[in-house]
Amino acid sequence: MANSVKIFDTTLRDGTQGEGVSLSVEDKLKIAQKLDALGVHYIEGGWPGSNGKDIEFFHRVKELKLAHAKVTAFGSTRRKDTKAEDDPNLNKILESGVKVATIFGKSWDFHVHKAIQTTLEENLAMIYDSVRFLKNSGLEVIYDAEHFFDGYKNNPDYALQTIRQAEAAGADWIVLCDTNGGSLPGEIGDIVAEVVREVSRPIGIHAHNDCELGVANSLAAVAAGARQVQGTINGYGERCGNANLCSVIPNLQLKMGFSCIADEQLAALTPVARYVSEIANMHMPVGQPFVGNAAFAHKGGIHVSAILRHPKTYEHIAPELVGNKQRVLVSELAGQSNLIVKAEELKLDFDKNNPKVKSVIERVKELEHQGYQFEGADASLELLLREALEGLEEVFTLESFKIIVEKSAGRAVVTEAIVKVKVHGETMFTAAEGNGPVNALDVALRKALMPYYPDIQQVHLTDYKVRVFDEKDTTAAKVRVLIETADLETSWNTVGVSENIIEASWNALADSIRYALIGRTRVEHKEQQPERLGLVNH
Amino acid sequence: MANSVKIFDTTLRDGTQGEGVSLSVEDKLKIAQKLDALGVHYIEGGWPGSNGKDIEFFHRVKELKLAHAKVTAFGSTRRKDTKAEDDPNLNKILESGVKVATIFGKSWDFHVHKAIQTTLEENLAMIYDSVRFLKNSGLEVIYDAEHFFDGYKNNPDYALQTIRQAEAAGADWIVLCDTNGGSLPGEIGDIVAEVVREVSRPIGIHAHNDCELGVANSLAAVAAGARQVQGTINGYGERCGNANLCSVIPNLQLKMGFSCIADEQLAALTPVARYVSEIANMHMPVGQPFVGNAAFAHKGGIHVSAILRHPKTYEHIAPELVGNKQRVLVSELAGQSNLIVKAEELKLDFDKNNPKVKSVIERVKELEHQGYQFEGADASLELLLREALEGLEEVFTLESFKIIVEKSAGRAVVTEAIVKVKVHGETMFTAAEGNGPVNALDVALRKALMPYYPDIQQVHLTDYKVRVFDEKDTTAAKVRVLIETADLETSWNTVGVSENIIEASWNALADSIRYALIGRTRVEHKEQQPERLGLVNH
């Protein structure tokens, strides 16, 4: 027990306060299942007293029959000058049907005066009454001491009195919150150690990231005796976010020797982090510690040659422990050694005396100069290398495309694409409608290829990213498009660059489809496939 | 002096190792000027022994005549089994003309064996000879002890021997590097304190962020006696990045009482951080501590009502100290109180009993449900509120637009837009070419408006962002477009959402131009303005 730290996830409550984060009830249910599988101990699902969406969540989460995690509902202590049993917010927690309540109260005398505008005595009674009421109703109660560290720094006696009320009323946990995220690890460690000495209940930590110290503050609290950490996946949360559990958990478990979740659960951390970022529709920073795409990526030439000799030279942990993997990036900084690594990965012969090798190195440099980045577009790079070194079957060649977008006031916008491509010597001329220009192009191109490659049906675009660069003259600037494509088994990324977003999209799309088709079975019964002439509309 | 910490910026060297970061010589020169104005003490400009771009940088940076910062060139200790004076890499540092050299050597016995494959004795000689050679050449020498913490943990005696070589050879600074970013603040503090006791030269810290502890580790080192911090703007750097100076500096200065840069320089931190992210073309996370757009943003309804009473309730520092500002966000979570704040900011009468107020609240909710986000699009929200509560002059209304994009193999892509809009009762029918569909639409719309609003010439798009959401079915999913527009004095943001990227762009563009024109002088001499008929091509 002394070595075990409970993980309290508040992605679904505090996380949704982050700018840009907005989760539907369906989204929250999906994430709750992932969190349960990850092994977190508590899932804070929302604030039933605050909005109807959260009430629906608590209703539906029961049907999921989570294997492990306890679901908890959030709320505040009773309002001033009311009875706990009459408080609508506390009753909403009971009605939600959870077995664990998490309620917050004020620890900072300044807040009692300025924010809720009551007396210090009434605030103490609000805490006691609320915890007591929920305990009497048979719930496990987690008491969140809001602004505890600011309160303690301002008036330690009063801050301690507030949590003693929660203790006396029977709270199961007392969680110290650095609500404004302004405290430093040393302060957190000292104050937590003091509270652990003073209070008989187990202590938790709830840190925010306003000083970029949310993780460090959580670790300092655990080192000082806290045994519950509250945080969110990817650190989502108001302002600069909450403590990032995707960093807290591996640090506690791999570096500090605490036990939070099972090893095989930890090995699922990266997929869970990426899943939540997708559902929340938040861009995951490429360099996010432990779980980011670049967390174990190596770019510099020196690093790359050393990493080939021994991974430990430039990796602080084995990436597989957190479900991530090593990557080698290609860029001007690395000289040729990274391209060599990539060629080795692809089992291509990359002899520097070969003039083809020299010319593909030049070609990569020239494309990077134009604004291509192959770091996020492995499939485009692979096509380039294979084409130059081995030659590739020509799947199709573009003769022309045309896109028309028409909008009249009060009517739906209409988008059409007409594509003329040569496929194995035959000119295919197809047209398609789409929800937008890229979709219309994609559908028209598939129509042209279907007679030869019926497997293309299994391939679909899964992500589309646009980056404008040279931001001084924007709509006339260059555009880089990244497309992610997947079939039933795997996914790949391609890139296109142009001044024109449509042409950039076409370049990325053409690479994506080309990559999909290389090595796939080609069929020859053209006569039975009227689609190739664009006669069938789908 | 004891209270002063020197800031060593390596954005231009280590920062460029970050995935996606690529800076031209021009970019580096621009950033160097900003860093100098910010007050950093050292600017590491690059590795002249590694690539030609860096040599050009050192040549040209002399012309800038920086006021304050010392420019330093990076390199490694001499190669094994060569003389320092014959080492090309060390000679490139001298040739670069800098007055400060920063060289790194190995501290970790494991690395000596595995990475550079030499003896422990030869490594010690490599360090001594290299520092001595540069000192004899009259340079200030900063010795970066690579992997010092991993080395010390593995073999403390040898790690200390390596830095004693640098000390004996006359190094001006000894900087301890956590190169793999795997150390914890407690370890860093203990080891730095030990080194400060053992070594007579001033000590620095170079931390990486692989455990999300880059900032905490830097602070722990300073608390233990380090007096130089190496890091990068926005924490750019290989893998998970370097220690983020945009968090290190305010923490040291505002929280820990150390002195790094002048107060008025600190008040320029946010603009510098945003400038560097623009030049580096890196997305700045909205929740980045201290300098992010959401670092002092308030979303939840309770927070917002408290913040109105007293900012200190939910702000750990005054945002102005770091050049940032408070923002109030609008979202479903906040109930109506945030919309009220926004209306107050705009001096609109927002009486809840007013049916117009109820209906605009409903309208905002409905648009958010469709995927609009007004958090990054203040101008669109302002138009919506003013329209509903005050009524707005109708600047123009769309009748139709049509866009044609044509591409033939071997030829440049051609994009045309045809726009029909009603401007003050008259139908304007214009056509334009563009570098892409949005540019063509923008040019055609301006043509239609120019006869009435010649001021529109001063307005230009400065940023264009595309976000696809619902990533399951991408090209057929919804698209949110954010446009930033500026005139000579200010800038504003608008949003558009549609399944079709062109229509979403139009929505954002129309809002942007509408916002620009409201309140602007309208001219009436139509006859003298043939452009309105689309006769003049520009």
Structure confidence at residue A109 as a pLDDT band (50, 70, 90): very high
Q: Are the CB atoms for B431 and B416 separated by under 8 Å?
A: yes
Kindly indicate the confidence band of residue A302, based on its pLDDT and cuts at 50, 70 and 90.
Answer: low
- Contact: B315, A180; criterion CB under 8 Å: yes
User: What local confidence, expressed as pLDDT, does residue A371 receive?
Assistant: 77
Asked whether this complex has an ipTM greater than 0.85, the answer is no
Res B535: pLDDT:
37
Within 13 Å, how many C-alpha atoms sit on residue A106's CB side? Answer: 26
Burial of B530 (0-12, 13-18, 19+ CB in 10 A): exposed
| Confidence band, pLDDT 50/70/90 cuts, at residue A18 | confident
Instruction: Say which residue, B142 or B472, is predicted with more confidence.
Output: B142
Cβ–Cβ below 8 Å for A475 and B239: no
Q: What is the mean pLDDT of residues B512-536?
A: 61
Overall average pLDDT of the B233-258 stretch: 97
User: When comparing pLDDT for A358 and A160, which is higher?
Assistant: A160
Q: Is residue A277 part of a domain?
A: no
Tell whether the model's pLDDT for residue A481 goes beyond 70: yes
Structural domain contains residue A270: no
Average pLDDT score over residue span B77-104: 96
pLDDT, greater one: A482 or A413: A413
Q: Report yes or no on B220 lying in a domain.
A: yes
Largest CA distance in chain A: 88
More confident call, A327 vs B167? B167
Question: B334 and B250 in one domain?
Answer: no
Whether A241 contacts A235, CB under 8 Å? yes
Report the alpha-carbon distance of residue B124 to residue B202 in Å, rounded: 20
Predicted local confidence at residue A83, as pLDDT:
96
- State which residues form the domain around B523: 397-533
- One domain, residues B27 and B154: yes
Residues A161 and A191: beta-carbon distance below 8 Å: no
Does some domain include residue A281?
Answer: no
Average confidence (pLDDT) over A253-277: 94
Q: Please list every residue in chain B whose beta carbon sits closer than 8 Å to the beta carbon of residue A404.
A: 402-404
Alpha-carbon distances, residue B234 vs A237, A376, B22 (angstroms): 19, 21, 14
Mean pLDDT calculated for residue range A123-148:
98
Q: Cα–Cα distance between B287 and B289 in angstroms, integer?
A: 6
Minimal C-alpha gap between B368 and chain A (Å) = 10
Q: Residue B184: pLDDT above 90? A: yes
- Residue B403: CATH number of its domain: 3.30.160.270
Q: What percent of chain B has pLDDT over 70?
A: 90
Q: With bands split at pLDDT 50, 70 and 90, how would you rate the model's confidence at B271?
A: confident
Asked if residue A302 belongs to a domain, the reply is: yes
Let me know whether A233 and A120 are in one domain. yes
Q: Which of B19, B22, B150, B463 should we substitute to test contact with A (largest number of A Cβ atoms within 10 Å)?
A: B19
B90 CA: distance to closest CA in chain A (Å): 16
What integer pLDDT is reported at residue B329 of this predicted model? 65
Q: Is residue A377 located within the same domain as residue A403?
A: no
Is B376 a residue whose pLDDT tops 80?
no
In a domain, B285, yes or no: no
How far does Cα A427 stand from its chain's mean position? Answer: 43
Higher pLDDT, A26 or B258: B258
* Selection from A194-208, A482-496, B38-52, B323-337 with the highest mean pLDDT: A194-208
Q: Of A18, A186, A211, which has the smallest distance from its Cβ to B287's Cβ? A: A18
Say which residue the tokens 């092994």 belong to: A39
Paired strand residues for A398: A421
Identify the pLDDT of residue B259: 97
More confident residue, B91 or B346: B91
pLDDT at A394: 84
- B402 and B384 part of one domain: no
Tell which wins on pLDDT, A331 or B19: B19
Please report the DSSP string for B136-152 in residue order.
HTT-EEEEEEETHHHHH
Answer whether residue A523 shows pLDDT above 70: no
Residues of B in contact with A47 (CB under 8 A): none
Q: Which of B79-88, B385-394, B438-447 has the lowest mean pLDDT?
A: B385-394
pLDDT of B453 strictly over 80 = yes
CB contact under 8 A, A115 and B306: yes
Q: What span, in angstroms and rounded, lies between the C-alpha atoms of A134 and A166? A: 11
What pLDDT, on the 0 to 100 scale, is given for residue A101?
A: 98
User: What CATH number corresponds to the domain at position B41?
Assistant: 3.20.20.70
Minimum distance, in Å, between the CA of residue B290 and any CA atom of chain A: 7
Cβ distance of A373 and B300 shorter than 8 Å: no
CB contact (8 A) between residue B19 and residue A110? no
For residue A301, tell me if it sits in a domain: yes
E-strand ranges in A239-360 read: 297-298, 327-328
- The residues that bridge with B101 in the sheet, in sequence order, are B73, B141
| Overall domain count for chain A | 3
Determine contact, residues B346/B382, Cβ cutoff 8 Å: yes
Which of A330, A365, A389 terminates a domain? The answer is: A389
d(Cα A161, Cα B308) in Å, to the nearest integer?
Answer: 28
Given an 8 Å threshold on Cβ–Cβ distance, is A475 in contact with B435? yes
Domain boundary among B340, B372, B389: B389
Is pLDDT at A433 greater than 60 in this prediction?
Answer: yes
| Residue of chain A whose alpha carbon sits nearest to that of B443 | A475
Burial class (CB in 10 A: 0-12, 13-18, 19+), A352: exposed
Mutate to test the interface with B, among A47, A108, A212, A505 (most CBs of B within 10 A): A212
List the single best residue of B57, B501, B503 to mutate versus A (max A Cβ within 10 A): B501
Residue contact A406–B400, C-beta within 8 A = yes
A153-196, pLDDT tens digit by residue? 999 999 999 999 999 999 999 999 999 999 999 999 999 999 99
**What does each C-alpha distance from B339 to B255, B299, B315, B515 come to in angstroms?**
34, 11, 20, 19
Q: What is the pLDDT of residue A131?
A: 98
How many contacts does A have with B, using Cβ atoms within 8 A? Answer: 355
Element (H, E) at B203: strand B203-207
| Chain A CB contacts of B220 below 8 Å | 185
Q: Under a CB-based contact definition with an 8 Å cutoff, are residues B140 and B70 in contact?
A: yes
Is residue B485 within 8 Å of residue B511, measured between CB atoms? Answer: no
Lowest mean per-residue pLDDT among A24-28, A529-533, B74-78, B172-176: A529-533
Does residue A523 share a domain with residue A408? yes
When pLDDT is cut at 50, 70 and 90, the band that residue B304 belongs to is: low
CA distance, residue B67 to nearest chain A CA (Å): 27
- pLDDT given for residue B225 in this prediction: 97
B289 occurs within a structural domain: no
Across B65-90, average pLDDT: 95
Single-letter amino acid, residue B216: A
Is residue B147 within 8 Å of residue B106, measured between CB atoms? yes
CB B252 within 8 A of CB B263: no
Residue A225 pLDDT > 70: yes
pLDDT for B114: 83
Among A469-473, B261-265, B363-367, which stretch is predicted with the lowest mean pLDDT? A469-473
Contact B316 A17 (CB under 8 A): no
CA dihedral over A137, A141, A147, A149, signed as positive or negative: positive
Residues B61, B171 within the same domain? yes
Whether pLDDT at A477 is above 70: yes
> Looking at residues A310-322, what average pLDDT do you find?
87
Same-domain status, B506 and B420: yes
Half-sphere exposure of B341 (CA within 13 A, CB side): 24
* Maximum CA extent, chain B: 88
Q: Is the model's pLDDT at A331 over the cut of 60?
A: no
- pLDDT band at residue B473 under the 50/70/90 scheme: very low
Which residue in the set B185, B239, B306 is minimally distant from A294, CB to CB? B239
CA distance A106 to A104: 7
Tell me: do B335 and B375 sit in the same domain: yes
Specify whether the CB–CB gap between A514 and A395 falls below 8 A: yes
What does the pLDDT read at residue B48?
93
pLDDT at B361 over 70: yes
pLDDT at position A538 is: 36
Residue partners of B65: CB distance under 8 A and separation at least 6: none
Which candidate in B253, B316, B445 is best for mutational testing of the A interface (most A CBs within 10 A)? B316
Among the three residues B261, B283, B311, which one is the final residue of a domain in this structure?
B261
* Cβ-Cβ contacts under 8 Å, A179 against chain B: 314
Find the closest chain A residue to B234 by CA distance.
Answer: A212
* Inter-chain CB proximity A238 and B209 less than 8 Å: no
Cβ–Cβ < 8 Å for A79, A92 = no
| Range with lowest mean pLDDT among A212-226, A422-436, A460-474, B136-150 | A460-474
- The confidence band for B82, taking pLDDT boundaries of 50, 70 and 90, is very high
Contact check, Cβ <8 Å, B294/A239: yes
> Which pLDDT score is estimated for A305?
66
- Choose the mutation target among A21, A107, A298, A405 for the interface with B, i.e. most B CBs under 10 Å: A405
Does residue B483 contact residue B439 with C-beta atoms inside 8 Å?
no
How far is A159 from A145, CA to CA, in rounded Å? 9
Q: Got the DSSP string for A93-155? A: HHHTT-SEEEEEEE--HHHHHHTS---HHHHHHHHHHHHHHHHHTT-EEEEEEETHHHHHHH-
Residue in A19, A293, A461 nearest the CB of B287:
A19
Residue B470 has pLDDT above 70, yes or no: no
Instruction: Choose between A346 and A226: higher pLDDT.
Output: A226
- CA distance, residue B166 to nearest chain A CA (Å): 22
Question: DSSP characters for A159-221?
Answer: HHHHHHHHHHTT-SEEEEEETT----HHHHHHHHHHHHHH-SS-EEEEEB-TTS-HHHHHHHH
pLDDT at A524: 59
pLDDT band at A534 (very low <50, low <70, confident <90, very high): very low
Whether the predicted model's global pTM rises above the 0.80 cut: no
Q: Give residue B530's pLDDT band: very low, low, confident or very high (50, 70, 90).
A: very low
- If asked whether residues B413 and B365 sit together in one domain, one would say no
Which positions in chain B touch A365 (Cβ < 8 Å)? Answer: none
Q: Tell me, what DSSP letter sits at residue B495? A: E
A281 falls in which pLDDT band (50, 70, 90)? low
Q: Cβ contacts of residue B165 below 8 Å, gap of 6+?
A: B124, B125, B127, B128, B131
For tokens 């130059």, the residue is A388
Are B114 and A375 inside 8 Å of each other by CB?
A: no
- Statement: residue A363 has pLDDT above 90: no
Q: Are residues B17 and B157 in the same domain?
A: yes
Average pLDDT over all residues of chain A: 88
Rounded-to-integer distance, Cα A47 and Cα B399, Å:
46
The reply to whether A73 and A173 lie within a common domain is: yes
Does A114 sit within 8 Å of B310, measured CB to CB? yes
Contact A17 B499 (CB under 8 A): no
